Amino acid sequence: MTVTRCDASVESMLAARVARLRLTSTSISTSTTVYRYKYMGHQQTLGQDARCKFFEMPPGKKGPQPHQASLADMWGGGKKKEKKPKEEQKEEKEKEKEKEVEEKEEKAGTSASGSVKEEGKKGTDTVTDPFTVASENAKRKQPSSPAKSPARSAQQPQAKKRRVIESDDEEGAAGKGKVSRSRSASPAAPAEPPRKLGPPKGKGKKPAPKAAVEEDMEMEEDDTDAREAATVKKEVAAAKKEVAATKKEAAVATKVAASAKGKGKAKDKIKKVEEEEMEVDEAAASTSADEGAEELEDESEEEIEEEKVASKNAEAALDRKTEVDIPGGWKVGAPVPYAALAKTFALIEATTKRIEKTSLLTSLLLLVIERSKEGDADSLLRTVYICINRLSPDYIGIELGIGESILIKAIGESTGRSLAIIKSDLKKEGDLGLVAMNSKNMQQTLFKPKPLTVPFVFANLKEIALSSGHSSQNKKVSIITKLLAACQGQEAKYIVRSLEGKLRIGLAERTVLVALAHAAVLAEQQRASKKWNKEKLASRLEEGAHVVKSVYSELPSYDKVVPALLEVGIAGLQEKCKLTPGVPLKPMLAKPTKAIGEVLDRFEGKRFTCEYKYDGERAQVHRLEDGTVGVFSRNSEDMSKKYPDLVEQLPHCIKESTKSFVIDAEAVAIDRSTGKLMPFQELSKRETDRKDVKVEDIQVRVCLFAFDLLYLNGEPLLHRDLTERRELLREHFQPVDFEFQFAKSSDNESTEDIQAFLDESVKDGCEGLMVKMMESEASHYEPSRRSVNWLKLKKDYLAGVGDSLDLVVVGGYYGKGKRTNVYGAFLLACYDADSEEYQTICKIGTGFSEEALAAHWDVLRPLELEKCRGDIKAGGAKPDVWFEPRVVWEVLTADLSLSPVYTAAMGLIDQRGISLRFPRFIRVRDDKNADDATGPDQIAEMYERQVLAQGSSKKQKGDGDGDDGFW
DNA sequence: AGAGGGTGACC
DNA sequence: ATTATGT
DNA sequence: ACATAATGGTCACCCTCT
């Protein structure tokens, strides 16, 4: 086996990293090397859970817990725990450290089998049968996890700390780090992207906000200082769980951060930690600093003032207009300059503070309102639309039809750079917006273009969206080129991101709504020249936010809400904008649940109900007084065209008394001859709404499973109890075989009953259960909220129950955004021992902590190959880089599917290969070699079992099991 | 006309 | 969809 | 708790190229 040869510096770098990671390599034979990472892989078993457990389970208090605590409790527990005296924390920490050492020793000293311990519980075979092994696993896993989790949580901060120290060392010790970094410039090396070694958190802001930060540095030292200190503080806070030495550092840095004024020693510290970051970013920053400085210079003075006040005074925090405005402002009635938006975005991007983001946007919107002519709602409306990256209400459905590829082409065209260069920049920057901006700023612009305005940008976006047909792509590209040509400073960045459909400034619709509300309140205050006192204002703001959010979730149309807001203000808004059949409302969402016990915990003593969670498509069906029927998707897309059959079926299913209504339901593919529900994959074969679908042509029929009633005969029901809504639903609708059913439900309350019902639901081809509060306000329908009043219970959430596989990492994809400079996703394969080949099965991109990603980079990067190895059967997969197949991960999945691209188990079940639905990373299996990975036969078997499990329910019509029909 | 890439919808 | 993270 | 942003597979549809 040939490992890719690298130059000497790479090797030394590797050695260093290997040492740091305590990655031990054990030679098993000449051809195989087992890498054992000892890092947080193991802690990750429970993912999110681990974080909660950290708070929840002090070592003293564990013991066999009947079930895991509810999320709410964990959250609460977290707060409690944080207040814990330091002493205790320290103790805990110490213990955990010991533990870790133990583990380490064990690892080093024993054979693979030894190190597996309980973690290897499934032995070499992680493939589990959910229905036989389930309960056992649960039993075993649950009591064991409290013991494990503290160790887990302790290791994470520790890893962070380690990294901080590392940086220091590198700085001090003649810059080992520098060597390895600068190596990226060395011609022989396979161009390693410059990589920040600080903990991901430290680089939190990343290239993107960097520019903004840099600006600030130019104009305001103190501010920068504070920012840096804050960053460091975070790192330190994370690290403080460790040795005393670090603690000193922490103390210093924290103090500095708190006072935001201290300099001197502390600053040095900061410098050290931050330096490599600067090093890396120097180039990028300096290119953009110019404009930035220019823009901001003239108001730096005011800003200092404002900054100070803002931090002390919540009220003042809301008025940052000067910060957000562009030099010279703009005239009342003039179009909103896009530069003002870009500037605001940059400021928003530069902070992680939610309140600050909101207040910045509020200020911008307020400016827009102030400078709009009487009766001009469009300025504000368009501004808002750009902020949320949409062109019209969802249910209108207008798409840009622009993706990365076209964008790359356009950027290439407008900057005259080759596609290859753009692509490599993208890899480096992790953001096409930045690439565009940098490319642009490198060019000498001869003429200063006419400034972009919001209406102009908006109109162009719309034109892009509306162009179709022959040569439309060229047209789109040329519009983009034109737009980019007119960009100044940071504008290109945000234009491009808008086109990508993600602003990525840590601000999305929710926050925009709040800002909109706040701006409206403040505008009102100004107009009335009132000056509310602090409390009054605060409560007004809060109320406004609440009103706007709730109005919007019932009538999600800025086209309607924004003008109404300007016209009648917050006070009259609710009256003016109400739930309207024909306009989809945001559906209520459910929280995932990790154990049945959690459900009981949450709903203890309350009445609740379990319903089947059907595996189909969410469908909100509206009927207006005039008989018009509309079907809307979960994302408020109008699916009426896609479901002409539903529209046609519906009249049979309602009773005389029912005139207008809105129901919440799931549309599921059904086999009309057997009455069996079909898997989601079948449903997705239906034609979409882009062309008019004729009922006769429909191959895949659907049955509607209704579970909620939101509006009936002119009356909204959102604020009624679920019991009542359900009663009305059953009263006013009637099930029709194969067409319309009520979601099967069970109101039992014991663990056993729920478990049984869950199993049953899976047998009937469902994903699991929805558990809902029945009475009290908690049972009301809360549009768009992912509330704990609805829980979803799926078998693969349940700890230790879902299907998990051990797969080999054979490829990597460069990450974007916050995953810049690490792999953002990976290609996995199973291993076929017979043919001795690796068969790809899926990509995976979730389940990784930032640390895990960093560690994976370190481990896998040396395994990069020139090209795909011959024994890897790739299928359609094209990763950015291929790896030597060596690293094995445990991966969890909800389902297996037949795949048009992957090759796993090809020919065993079907000509197609098999892939995974909802794959997520669980942990590293450092006890396994690549050839110990799950094999195609096992995968085929799992697939078969899945098909069987779902078909195994015997259902016949009218078997009278009571509940509204036969399933 | 058909293949293949790109995009956006669903989950 | 799932998951991790910051406030 | 909430909001945000990383990322998954599969399908139909559109556009472009052959």
Whether the Cβ atoms of residue A844 and residue A918 lie closer than 8 Å to each other: no
By mean pLDDT, which of A59-73, A101-115, A737-751, A788-802 is the weakest?
A: A59-73
Whether the Cβ atoms of residue A387 and residue A510 lie closer than 8 Å to each other: no
- At how many degrees (to 10) do helices A419-429 and A432-442 cross? 120
Residue nearest to nucleotide D7 (CA to C1'): A845
**The pLDDT value given to residue A171:** 33
Sign of CA dihedral A182, A183, A186, A192: negative
Buried b (16+ CB within 10 A) or exposed e, A118-148: ebbebeeebbbebeeebeebbeebbeebbeb
Closest nucleotide over all strands to A399 (CA to C1'): B8
**The pLDDT value given to residue A373:** 97
Q: From the CA of A494, how many Å to the C1' of B2?
A: 39
With a cut of 50, say whether residue A147 has pLDDT above it.
Answer: no
Each residue's pLDDT tens digit, A793-816:
999 998 778 899 999 999 999 999
What value does the mean pLDDT take over residues A395-418? 96
Closest nucleotide over all strands to A851 (CA to C1'): C4
CA distances from A271 to A159, A162, A167, A288, A372 (A): 21, 17, 11, 22, 45
**The pLDDT value given to residue A810:** 98
DSSP helix/strand/coil, A803: strand
State CA A780 to chain mean position distance: 27
Count Cβ atoms below 10 Å from residue A99 Cβ, excluding itself: 18
With a cut of 70, say whether residue A678 has pLDDT above it.
Answer: yes
Whether the Cβ atoms of residue A808 and residue A828 lie closer than 8 Å to each other: yes
**The pLDDT value given to residue A691:** 82
**The pLDDT value given to residue A185:** 30
**The pLDDT value given to residue A317:** 54
Give, as one character, the DSSP assignment of residue A453.
B
What value does the mean pLDDT take over residues A161-179? 33
State phi, psi for A158 to the nearest 5 degrees: -65, -45
How far is the C-alpha of A107 from the C-alpha of A109, rounded, in Å? 6
Confidence band of A274 (pLDDT split at 50, 70, 90): very low
With a cut of 70, say whether residue A538 has pLDDT above it.
Answer: yes
State the DSSP H helix or E strand holding residue A608, giving kind and residue range, or none if neither: strand A608-613
How far is the C-alpha of A429 from the C-alpha of A412, rounded, in Å? 16
How far is the C-alpha of A271 from the C-alpha of A274, rounded, in Å? 5
Q: List, in order, residues 6 or more apart from A684 with CB less than 8 Å away.
A: none
Q: From the CA of A923, how many Å to the C1' of B8?
A: 32
Q: From the CA of A686, how many Å to the C1' of D2?
A: 35
**The pLDDT value given to residue A114:** 29
Closest nucleotide over all strands to A847 (CA to C1'): C3
Confidence band of A315 (pLDDT split at 50, 70, 90): low
Q: From the CA of A139, how many Å to the C1' of D4?
A: 35
Closest nucleotide over all strands to A619 (CA to C1'): B10
Confidence band of A580 (pLDDT split at 50, 70, 90): very high
Question: Which amino acid belongs to residue A608?
Answer: F
With a cut of 80, say whether residue A231 has pLDDT above it.
Answer: no
DSSP helix/strand/coil, A734: coil
**The pLDDT value given to residue A304:** 40
CB-contacted nucleotides of strand B (7 Å): 5-11
Strand C-proximal residues of A, range 175-234, CB below 7 A, are: 200-201, 204, 234
Q: Decide the pairing of beta strands A837-844 and A872-873.
A: parallel
User: Of the residues A210, A428, A493, A613, which is catalytic?
Assistant: A613
How far is the C-alpha of A504 from the C-alpha of A525, rounded, in Å? 32
With a cut of 60, say whether residue A4 has pLDDT above it.
Answer: no
How far is the C-alpha of A456 from the C-alpha of A472, rounded, in Å? 20
**Stronger pLDDT, A77 or A884, i.e. the higher one:** A884
CA dihedral A583→A584→A585→A588, nearest 10 degrees, is 170
Whether the Cβ atoms of residue A958 and residue A966 lie closer than 8 Å to each other: yes
Token pair 């300059």 in the structure block, residue: A337
**The pLDDT value given to residue A319:** 72
Q: From the CA of A586, how many Å to the C1' of D7?
A: 24
Buried b (16+ CB within 10 A) or exposed e, A632-671: bbeebbbbbbbbbbbbebbeebbeeebbbbbbbbbbbbbe
How far is the C-alpha of A839 from the C-alpha of A877, rounded, in Å? 11
CA distances from A345 to A92, A329, A341, A350, A359 (A): 42, 16, 6, 8, 12
Each residue's pLDDT tens digit, A604-627:
899 999 999 999 999 999 999 999
| pTM, 2 dp | 0.76
**The pLDDT value given to residue A316:** 52
With a cut of 70, say whether residue A264 has pLDDT above it.
Answer: no
Q: What angle do CA A239, A240, A242 make, to 5 degrees?
A: 85
**Stronger pLDDT, A701 or A77, i.e. the higher one:** A701
Residue nearest to nucleotide D10 (CA to C1'): A681
**The pLDDT value given to residue A690:** 82
**The pLDDT value given to residue A132:** 33
- At how many degrees (to 10) do helices A472-485 and A404-415 cross? 50
**What domains lie within chain A, and their CATH numbers?**
305-389+506-540 (no CATH), 591-797 (3.30.470.30), 804-951 (2.40.50.140)
CA dihedral A360→A366→A369→A370, nearest 10 degrees, is -130
**The pLDDT value given to residue A955:** 52
Q: List, in order, residues 6 or more apart from A750 with CB less than 8 Å away.
A: none
CB-contacted nucleotides of strand C (7 Å): 1-7
Burial grade of A574 (CB within 10 A; 0-12, 13-18, 19 or more):
middle
Question: What is the residue-wise DSSP string for A290-358?
Answer: HHHHHHHGGGHHHHHHHHHHHHH-HHHHT--HHHHSPTT---TTSPPBHHHHHHHHHHHHH---HHHHH
How far is the C-alpha of A368 from the C-alpha of A377, rounded, in Å? 10
State phi, psi for A625 to the nearest 5 degrees: -50, -40
By mean pLDDT, which of A178-187, A293-302, A361-370 is the weakest?
A: A178-187
**The pLDDT value given to residue A748:** 87
Whether the Cβ atoms of residue A792 and residue A770 lie closer than 8 Å to each other: yes
State phi, psi for A766 to the nearest 5 degrees: -105, 170
Give, as one character, the DSSP assignment of residue A707.
E
Average confidence score pLDDT of chain A: 75
**The pLDDT value given to residue A531:** 87
Closest nucleotide over all strands to A351 (CA to C1'): C6
Asked if strand B comes closer than 7 Å to A617 Cβ, the answer is: yes
**The pLDDT value given to residue A642:** 95
How far is the C-alpha of A620 from the C-alpha of A632, rounded, in Å? 5
Q: From the CA of A122, how many Å to the C1' of D1?
A: 35
Bridge partners (DSSP) of residue A121 are none
Active-site residue, A613 included: yes
**Stronger pLDDT, A13 or A785, i.e. the higher one:** A785
Strand D-proximal residues of A, range 502-541, CB below 7 A, are: 502-512
Count Cβ atoms below 10 Å from residue A872 Cβ, excluding itself: 23
Which tokens sit at A928?
């396994």
Each residue's pLDDT tens digit, A648-658:
999 999 999 99
Each residue's pLDDT tens digit, A357-390:
999 999 999 999 999 999 999 999 999 999 999 9
